[in-house]
Structures are given as structure tokens and as C-alpha cells.
Structure 1
């Protein structure tokens, strides 16, 4: 028992926690028909009038402020497409997530559900947003996230032989997936910028789809985005030729990319981005001898080893 207690991680101490919504705007609808709806089991039908004012494109953020305060800029955790802030909380097999890892090391953290995702809510379709959402199938997530090879299905023996992803817990990853839209990029970025405007200088830790938003936020708010840590950005934004991008940026890239035609070009885009801007560092894990990482770096079995590399990189940045 004494040995187990000695090996236990330090307790998480908070001086405050809470949540809020930022951004958004009102949309007023008129001319729509009223309909009868039963709102609860055994209830009476009520007339539902959809005409009126709706708040849309707001973003939800939950904050955790470490005790004692470290004086460092807080971390903003931004998730990937079809996911929510839950991606950073725990791994599919129940291990500690990046949120807790960094809280234990004295970082303040803001965990976000992007516009149109999770607790941020979404708008009426097609009355406000023109198209239905995209929902990703389990099989697509399994191969797109490089857990299993193209053409395979979740199941024994179909994963990459060296995979770091906890394959037996894939169902828990599939349970996290939520609907997403493909026309909301501008609204998502506005939500993230509204967070920066409210909180002040932050370090953005982003994954997949949100890599674009992390880089764009660094360009738009160079005084507020002190650094960007991008886990396998799904794309690199098309910056203008004279774009003055100077935000310290660390990009982590995993393994098994050459077996899937979707990924080599993205790796090239990342390398081109790093060649263009001296402030960008690429950490290719296979080149470091770290093999088997999937697209879900913060969920892989070595996720805390990767978090430690990020922590050391952040601590080495110049103060201010």
C-alpha cells in the first residue's frame, strides 16, 4: 500500500473552476408554421411556434485554474472534427488525459467545445444553417485516424501491428463522435478568437481540424496566442504570401502515414509550412524512434510521454 501511494500522481489543486459561453449572434425567424408537439412522456400536445429569435454560433468553454497560480499563460484545448472537449479529458481506456496531466503541472486550462459541437449547441437546419451535418461511421474513424489500415474494419487483428492506440477501447472513441458541419469554419474561428479576447494571452493546444484554427488565431492575434501546439493538423491554412506568422509552433506527427494515401500530402504540407517559417518546429515521432502513434496522439498508450515532450518544449519558450 505504501509503495502504491508513493507512486500515485500528485493531487490536482484548483483555485477556481467554471464555465461560460462566448461569441455568437442572434437570428430572427418569421413566417414558419406552428406545429403540435408532445414535450414529455404522457404530456399534452403543445403548440410550438418556431418564429422568434435564436442565439447561434456561440462557443462553450470550461476553465480549470491551478493552485497556486503559475504566472504562465493558460492552455486552450481545441479538439478535432466530429469531436468535443472530451477528447482531452481521459483516454478511451480510462487513463489520464492531457487536461489532467497539465493541471498537475500547474497549468491553467480552458477546455472548449467548438461552435456547433457539444455544449455549444447548433442552429436549426435548414432554417438557419443550409445543410445537414456530417456524421462519421465507425469504420471511417478507424482507418482515417490510422488505427487500422485502409479497407479494414474494427476488430481483432485489423489494427496496425505496432499501433499505440488502445484498440480494445475503440468503442469508447466511437462513442465520443458527434455531428459536425462543413460550412462553419469562419464561425468556429470567431468563437476561438472571442475566447482569446475574453481571457487574454493563451497557448493553444489543438488537434486535427482545429490545427487550422490554431494557426489562423496565431496569425490574427500574435500578441494573444503565445504558442501553438498542433497534434497532426488536418490541414495547413493557405496563408497569403506576405503573411507574417511568428507564433512559436510545435507540430507533432505520428506513424504509419505511408500506408494511407490521405496522409503523405498532409505531411508534406506541414514540412513546407515549417520550411517557410522559422518559428515552426516539427516533431516527427518515427524520426525520434517513437513508433506506432495514430492520429489520436493524446489517446495513444504513450500519450503522457508525448505530453511530457510538449511540456518541456513549452517550458523552454522565452518568458513574456
Structure 2
């Protein structure tokens, strides 16, 4: 019998410019009781130098190098629901994106643990805790955070969007920028899909939750891995797949054209076998906006997502695109799950899971 692990949910403390603590009070939270937690790696490759290793000379001859795996940290609560949640980060991010929010509140990790979901936080190959690449890469510390401020739709630097669901104190922005991490090797979509597929093979059926760049890789994972029972995708940014002969024209935007990807129809049809929901936040232009290229790229992605979902449903699938402002939820950035209203966003996701009967 496994022993219970009790974790008192204390949000990380962050000091605002006034010096006041900006975190939830310990006294307002109930303990999170776990039956298990741990970590492991999945997938990956091994390279070996020819020759025989000499333990005295200790040259590279005959030695191996294990890399290109994903890293996974998991927590299983008492009375866990039937299916756990696998959280996959976006570009320039790692598993931190699902943990404590930049302003010190519970992220989706703790929110869904408290709702009795098992959670698996992964770092894709060559990122974060999985930073062991079999291919070389150069990392240049090029200042670019003000660009990301716009692309992630917090505002147009240095101004925040009116009503944005992001705390505008300096320490929150500091924590936000420090959650970004580089690629320790080239991004390899097939490598990432294989690693995440290996995770599903290891743990069995689960719900996949993706963000941004991992959205497209999430579709590919579901195509090759039957243990993906549903997909929740926050602002997928690329990798929209269509049957051969049905690929829509590129959608122009002031940040460049968005192109879809052709795959075999029999592969595409596998995506019609599971429920899929896509969420996009606020402050996305309704028409071409050359004055705000960071946000305008998301206009093209939202439009492509709607075409993609329509194609899925044409073949009997169940795909839904939710533009949050259209359902009365205002001010969300590219990171709805860590915005100030992330409890409301979590409710929306859980209501969808329950409505679809995914846990039955």
C-alpha cells in the first residue's frame, strides 16, 4: 500500500515594487494529498563513438551519449480521476509554464491536483530538464523580451492592453520573462512526437493539454498514439494538418503567412475519433493589422484553427474552437492558464471534459 504524501499548497512568494507579498495566503488553502509523485525520462536516442573504451586513457572511443529524451514530473492525488492530464509547454517554455503563475498563484498543476486529476508535466526533448541534445546548437543571449511581450499579447511595449488579465507590477513581469528557456539543440518535431508518444505508451490513456507550438505536435501524437483520449489546446500556433488535396491557402498576416500541412487522409481521420477543444484569448485583431504584427499573427492562427476544426467535423469528428471574448471572457493573453482569471479558464476546460463524458 502506498503512503500518502501531503503537500501544503503554498504559492511562490513574489515581492511587488512596493515590497508587499503578492501570493495567496497559506491559511486559505487545503493540503494537497498525494499517493505518488516522481519523475522519469521517455524516448530519446543513443549515439556511440567507434572503438573500445579504455578506463585509463578515458578518451571518447567506445563511449555512449544518451540524449533527445523528454523529462516528465508527475503527481497522483488521492481518489484520482480515471484519466490524468499531460501538460505540454509551448515554444521558449518548459514545464514551469503550468506551475505557479508569475504573480504567485496556483497554476494548472495545482488547480487540477486539487480537483483530483493526476498531472504529468513534461519538458520536450532539448528543452528545460530534458536539455541533453545529440545535435549541437549555439545559444546567443539576444535581448528579445519586448518582442515576446507583444507576441504573447500582454500589450504593445511598454503599454499593457486595457483590462488585460496579467498583473502589471514589475516583479510579475520579471518572473514571466525568467520562465523562458532556450532550445539546447534544434527543434525536431518527429523526435518530440516520438518522445511524447512513448510517455502515453508508458502511462496509458490520458488527456493531452498543449500550448502554442506543441499544438501541432499534439495532433501528430494523437495520430500515432491511441492512448490520447482527448486534446485541450491553448492557442495552437502551427502544424495544422489537413488531408492531401484539402490544404487551405496560406493565411496572410503582418508577421508572415501561416501555412497548413498535408498528411494522408487515413491519418487525418484518426483525429475524428477523439474530442478536441481549442481556446484562444483576447486582443486578437479582427482584420489585418500592420501596426501590431505580434498580435496579428494570432488572427491568422485563429482563422486557420476554425478551418481545421470545420474539416475535422466534416468527417464526423468533434472539434470546437472557442474564442474567449466571444463567450464573455475578456482580457486573456497567450497564456490563459496562468492569467489572473485562470480559475475561470480551468472551469471552462473541466466543464468541457465533463460535457464530453471523457472520464466515464
| Structures share fold, TM-score greater than 0.5 | yes
Asked whether 1:209 is paired with 2:248, we answer no
5 Å matches for 1:45-56?
49-50=59-60, 52-56=63-67
Asked whether 1:309 is paired with 2:309, we answer no
User: Normalising by the residue count of structure 2, what TM-score does the alignment of the two structures yield?
Assistant: 0.75
Greater mean alpha carbon deviation, residues 22-31 or residues 196-205:
22-31
Query: What is the root-mean-square deviation of aligned Cα atoms in Å?
Result: 2.2
5 Å matches for 1:136-155?
137-149=144-156, 152-153=157-158
Say which SS state the counterpart of residue 296 (structure 2) adopts: coil
Which residue is 1:197 aligned to? 201
Say which SS state the counterpart of residue 65 (structure 1) adopts: strand
Question: Could you list the per-position Cα deviations for residues 253-308 of structure 1 after superposition, in whole angstroms to 9, with x for gaps in the alignment?
Answer: 00111153211111111111111112111111110121111101111111111011
Say which SS state the counterpart of residue 213 (structure 1) adopts: helix
Asked whether 1:132 is paired with 2:143, we answer no
Go from structure 1 to structure 2 and tell me whether the alpha carbon gap of 1:254 and 1:305 turns closer, same or farther (over 3 Å shift).
same
User: Normalising by the residue count of structure 1, what TM-score does the alignment of the two structures yield?
Assistant: 0.84
Which residue is 2:329 aligned to? 290
Contact 1:208–1:235, Cα closer than 8 Å, also in 2: yes
5 Å matches for 1:1-320?
8-29=28-49, 49-50=59-60, 52-70=63-81, 72-123=82-133, 128-129=134-135, 131-133=137-139, 137-149=144-156, 152-153=157-158, 158-168=159-169, 169-180=172-183, 181-221=185-225, 223-241=226-244, 242=265, 243-244=268-269, 245-246=271-272, 247-258=274-285, 259=292, 260-278=295-313, 279-318=318-357, 319-320=359-360
Structure 1: give runs of 5+ residues left out of the alignment.
32-46
The 1-side partners of 2:111 and 2:235 are apart by: 20
The 2-side partners of 1:132 and 1:30 are apart by: 26
The 2-side partners of 1:185 and 1:134 are apart by: 22
The 2-side partners of 1:251 and 1:214 are apart by: 12
The 1-side partners of 2:179 and 2:59 are apart by: 33
Go from structure 1 to structure 2 and tell me whether the alpha carbon gap of 1:306 and 1:108 turns closer, same or farther (over 3 Å shift).
same
Go from structure 1 to structure 2 and tell me whether the alpha carbon gap of 1:261 and 1:23 turns closer, same or farther (over 3 Å shift).
same
The 1-side partners of 2:352 and 2:182 are apart by: 34
Structure 2: give runs of 5+ residues left out of the alignment.
1-23, 52-56, 245-264, 286-291
Contact 1:227–1:248, Cα closer than 8 Å, also in 2: yes
Say which SS state the counterpart of residue 139 (structure 1) adopts: helix
The 2-side partners of 1:309 and 1:120 are apart by: 31
